[in-house]
Amino acid sequence: MPLLPLLLLTVLPLAGCAVGTPDAPQTVRQALFGLGERAAQRVAEAPPLPRPSSDEVLLLAAPEVDDALGVGENRLLESLTRSLLGLGQGPQVLDWQPALASGAAANQWRLDSRLVSAGPRLALSDRTLLPYRLELTLRRPGDATPLWQTRLDGALDATAL
């Protein structure tokens, strides 16, 4: 009989875990994770960057973000930074500062990003998607001429934002 209370104390918490509520919507960090990963991979494959790019320095400018998407500049910058830092044999990553424009070393590259709405909201039965276009531009610090550009199209889950 003394084992019954001990057994109940052990089994009841486990039963509560099995009948829990469904997962809450993804956080903004999770929603932007895939976008950051795709962007980092594209940058890593950019022809101007030497291979391996571990000796290179990417200077990330503050991104331009369309307010209609509900994603803050800092959140997109965090996602890009984390993804670029997570690349194996990837470049060093620093925040762009205007003072870095003069006297830039040959191994420094400025990465500009622009996230814009690419269409109306798409209402599905269980969520709303926000189409986007992410434009990435690689250039030398202090030089307005792009050396490489690409764009990524996709959609963010509005419930995660």
Contacts of 141 (CB under 8 A, 6+ apart): 59, 96, 100, 101, 104, 108, 109, 110
**pTM, whole model, 2 decimals?**
0.77
Q: Which residue has the higher pLDDT, 12 or 43?
A: 43
Average pLDDT of 128-146? 93
Question: Each residue of 18-49: pLDDT tens digit?
Answer: 444 334 335 555 778 889 999 999 999 999 98
Q: pLDDT-derived band of residue 14, with 50, 70 and 90 as boundaries?
A: very low
Q: What per-residue confidence (pLDDT) applies to 10?
A: 52
Q: What are phi and psi of 45, to 5 degrees?
A: -90, 0
Q: What per-residue confidence (pLDDT) applies to 45?
A: 92
Question: Each residue of 65-118: pLDDT tens digit?
Answer: 999 998 889 999 999 999 999 998 889 999 988 777 777 788 899 999 999 999
Residue 31 to residue 127: CA distance in whole angstroms? 13
- The token pair that represents 141 in the structure block: 């610090």
Q: pLDDT-derived band of residue 15, with 50, 70 and 90 as boundaries?
A: very low
